[in-house]
Chains A and B, each alone.
Chain A
């Protein structure tokens, strides 16, 4: 008998159907993977389960009783907690206050700090994290530690069902291992978990059963061990994705367009040397926080460098001077790893976001030619395969994958000679990924030089010609991709030099 049973769940937003009949059974001690592209309805379903939205139709039963939470506190009382994709913590409060938020200890109306810390400590110890002090301020902790706090919060309220929405998207591999350890121990205690992820490897590692969502419907379910990746992917997209990575022909020995020498930006980046050639894709692997992002940000002058030189198409300059604007005028383009915070202006239109780095393509003497801007954007929308109502649509109405495609379209429109891409496919669905890979490969084939940072090794091995690894602020030698193996990359990344 399942402890949570969903039947025919329907949810509309105005004229839009977000969920169109979802069935799901969750058993005690089960890890159930929810798979689907961005926009398939996973997050909407999570929001219904933890009480943020009310369903418009269908039934939910929790332990054979009808379940209809009025808000997320109510859901938490019923034993269902959501671990958000984006951390929902109060950065100025302490660890203990965050873990026990909403269920704090009070004595005669007074905040009982001692009891609060004691409870928080016991939760953290149960979780194998006695190293995190309950008094510490959240803002001081690493992202991985913050995620532990977020999970502790769910556990502290005695939740029997945990909803995890892409919990590993901001985690390092060893933190992922820890998270999986946690999930296994929760499972052993009889808790059930609904687990959303884009990574099929991860799902195979941790989940027992799966449900595939597509366009708001549950289209397939079963035991994860009994189906192939091909089966899952084809149900996710409704068709088969044959080649995720485009075929590329590599033209060696072309001229160097970007040369970085002895670049440093303490404390994160200690020393980086690299040469980027026309027509190639150079991959940068490394752990998060190893200094990879700081390297491209220093090249692009978004952070200050302490030393080094950057040579763009033969023009050498000190890495310590210049602005992003001057880098753009030298022909460098940058794609941020964080599209919401730094990459895109979400309240502006698709057209503004695409043309922002090269307004000269549709303006004269500071005046914009709006119809030209629209035409340019339409070309880009078609070229990168962006799903949007039109160039005038505000970006925030697009799905994450399509937003990312807009960021890529901007670089193509900018006509940059050197593309610095920081995690170009983070958090986007598999079809969008394939489109982004396609666009990147086309840039390289067109003679652009591409530098691509990624945490996802299959992507680096599938796309790159050469690869270097960043480890503790030092960039390794660049070698041909055929000279690397996933093991050797990992070894280099966590190396003890």
Chain B
């Protein structure tokens, strides 16, 4: 279709669209908070600094992984093995602590475990030409199995180290206000916003997701880039795993089953397109918070778990439907 559009109208609609894209997730978050403030009957409790701290430290694990997932999804990929990777990384961190290494080493080992899974995903996808959906679906099983094997099929309990303070509700020292993990997530989110916007790597991620063949014809080493992207994603998943371990105070090989749903949903609610070339870290963060406030609200209402699952499932579909409507209109 070659409809002629006057230049001035384009600019206005372009600006409008950018705003709507940014505003959409914000409005959704406001709506969720408003709804539960009213439903719980005590907004001062739901929005108390205490509860907000609780929600934020609950969000952190999903949020950090979602940063990595955003990059993968912008590049036109997907990683379904994220939940298993989180479990593996939490087990690896716990085992390293128990083996008597410094906590720093344990954290590094956990993050690297995630990166190695990402690297493997990247090689299978580019080298063996397996589509990302299947490659990472397979990896979901493999990694979960490896985690259980390493942990001998049971949670690995760890002794108290500073790792366990990463995502506590009341940080020490108190002037931090929020858990160190929350600050780490905020820092990484800001960093990746800048990386995606202002670096050649970032623009290449968008280019490969928008049109891989064009990217190749423009001299972008698409295979190597994809391997990098999955490995980078793996780093974030690994860090999530460390935080998961910190939260549970044990390395649990069965943890985070189904987390891929929450993480991918956060990206999609935040404006990411599963066909690639679109996505925003800020939107993803809001998406992760929408789900955290939802879960928290449901808990406060005393609703059973299945209600949360139904609501979150419906919200994912609604978010994508709204996005489709918006794209059709413009």
Contact = CB atoms under 8 A, between A and B. Distances in A.
A14 B6 CA distance: 11
Interface in B249-307: 277-278
Given A16-B6, A43-B2, A389-B7, A324 B216 contact: yes
Interface string A358-374: 01000100111010000
Given A16-B6, A389-B11, A389-B14, A334 B217 contact: yes
Interface in B195-250: 197-203, 206-207, 210-211, 213-221
Contacts of B314: none
B128 interface: no
B13 interface: yes
Given A346-B211, A387-B7, A400-B2, A336 B217 contact: yes
A347 B3 contact: no
Interface residues of B, number: 38
Interface in A215-237: 215-216
A357 B216 CA distance: 10
A368 B4 contact: no
Contact of B1 (A44, A327, A342, A345): A44
Given A14-B9, A390-B11, A324 B4 contact: no
Interface string A319-362: 00001110111000010100001111111100010001101000
Contacts of A387: 7
B2 to A, nearest CB: 5
A328 B9 contact: no
Interface in A281-334: 300, 302, 323-325, 327-329, 334
A154 to B, nearest CB: 19
B221 A325 contact: yes
Given A344-B211, A393-B10, A215 B277 contact: no
A334 B213 CA distance: 13
Contact of A216 (B4, B201, B206, B215): B4
Contacts of A389: 7-8, 10-11, 14
Contacts of A336: 214, 217
B5 interface: yes
B2 A42 contact: yes
Contacts of B214: 336, 341-345
A357 B218 CA distance: 5
Given A366-B199, A367-B198, A215 B4 contact: yes
A210 to B, nearest CB: 19
A108 interface: no
A347 B278 contact: yes
Contact of B216 (A13, A302, A388): A302
A397 interface: yes
A368 B12 CA distance: 26
Contact of A368 (B14, B199, B221): B199
Contacts of A300: 217
A38 interface: yes
A43 B1 contact: yes
A392 B197 CA distance: 13
A40 B10 CA distance: 17
Contacts of B203: 352, 356, 359, 368
Chain B contact surface mostly: helix
B88 to A, nearest CB: 31
Given A41-B3, A324-B218, A345 B199 contact: no
Interface in A21-46: 38-44
Nearest to A410: B218
A47 interface: yes
B3 A352 contact: no
Given A16-B9, A341-B213, A344-B211, A43 B200 contact: no
A399 interface: yes
Contact of B277 (A39, A47, A348, A390): A348
Contact of A397 (B10, B199, B329): B10
A15 to B, nearest CB: 5
A328 B219 CA distance: 7
Nearest to A13: B3
A323 B5 contact: no
Contacts of A400: 2
B199 A348 contact: no
A64 B212 CA distance: 51
Nearest to A427: B2
Contact of B4 (A39, A328, A346, A393): A39
A380 interface: no
Contacts of B215: 345, 356
Contacts of A18: 3-5
A16 B211 contact: no
Contacts of A324: 216-219
B218 A399 contact: no
Contacts of A410: 218
Given A345-B207, A370-B197, A397-B14, 12 more contacts: A14-B13, A18-B4, A40-B4, A42-B2, A300-B217, A302-B217, A341-B214, A343-B214, A345-B214, A363-B200, A399-B4, A410-B218
23 contacts: A16-B4, A41-B4, A302-B216, A324-B219, A325-B220, A341-B211, A342-B217, A343-B214, A344-B211, A344-B214, A345-B207, A346-B211, A347-B210, A348-B206, A356-B207, A368-B197, A368-B203, A370-B197, A388-B7, A389-B11, A390-B11, A393-B14, A399-B2
Interface of B: 1-14, 197-203, 206-207, 210-211, 213-221, 277-278, 329-330
Query: What 3 pairs across the A-B complex have the smallest Cβ distances?
Result: A345-B210, A39-B4, A325-B219
